[in-house]
């Protein structure tokens, strides 16, 4: 959701900008149920329907796609997930703990990911099981 990402980026740019972000949040509020708490967000992040979405990863790579009602979170603040470049996370998915989603990986709808997903693999189910890249199936 553009407004939420804009406010996130302004807040991270320094104290003066945080004050500007606070004013903008009143004038131009973002989605109230979209929470971005990341140390780093790469360019090209696309959040489709940010309703009820929490992204608390240590890093979200470039050109990622995150759908609605997704939780990318942690058990301990030091053990945040890492999302690689070009990752797709579909509706309702949960990525929890010190998990690494490799570049180009996919997390299917409503999957619960508790272990690393290698690059190009797809995680589906509860708990998530891994499917190899389409070329290897």
The CATH number covering residue 97 comes to 2.160.10.10
| Residues 63 and 126 reside in one and the same domain | yes
| Average pLDDT per 10 consecutive residues for the chain, totaling 137 residues | 72 73 71 82 90 92 96 90 98 97 98 98 97 84
122 and 64 in a common domain: yes
Model confidence pTM above 0.85: no
> Which residues form the domain of 110?
32-136
112 and 46 part of one domain: yes
14 lies in the same domain as 53: no
Judge whether 31 and 3 are in contact, CB under 8 Å: yes
Whether the CB-CB separation of 68 and 49 falls below 8 Å is answered with yes
For residues 24 and 65, membership in a common domain is answered with no
Query: Which of these, 53, 73, 78, lies nearest to 65 by C-alpha position?
Result: 53
| 62 and 5 housed in the same domain | no
Same-domain check for residues 61 and 25: no
Contact 110, 87 (CB under 8 A): no
Instruction: Looking at the structure, tell me whether residues 40 and 86 fall in a common domain.
Output: yes
Q: 28-67 burial string, b = 16+ CB within 10 Å, else e?
A: eebbeebbbebeebbeebebeebbebbbbbbebbeebebb
- 3-state secondary structure at position 31: coil
């Amino acid at each position: 959701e553009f407004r939420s990402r804009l406010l996130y980026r302004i807040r991270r740019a320094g104290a003066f900008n945080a004050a500007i972000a606070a004013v903008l949040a009143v004038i131009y509020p973002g989605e109230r149920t979209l929470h971005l708490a990341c140390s780093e967000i790469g360019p090209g992040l696309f959040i489709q329907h940010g309703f009820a979405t929490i992204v608390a990863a240590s890093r979200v790579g470039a050109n990622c796609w995150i759908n609605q009602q997704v939780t990318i979170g942690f058990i301990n603040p030091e053990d945040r997930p890492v999302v690689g470049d070009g990752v797709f996370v579909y509706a309702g998915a949960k990525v929890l703990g010190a998990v690494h989603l490799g570049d180009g990986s996919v997390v299917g709808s409503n999957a619960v990911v508790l272990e690393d997903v290698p690059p190009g693999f797809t995680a589906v189910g509860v708990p998530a099981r891994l499917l190899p890249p389409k070329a290897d199936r």
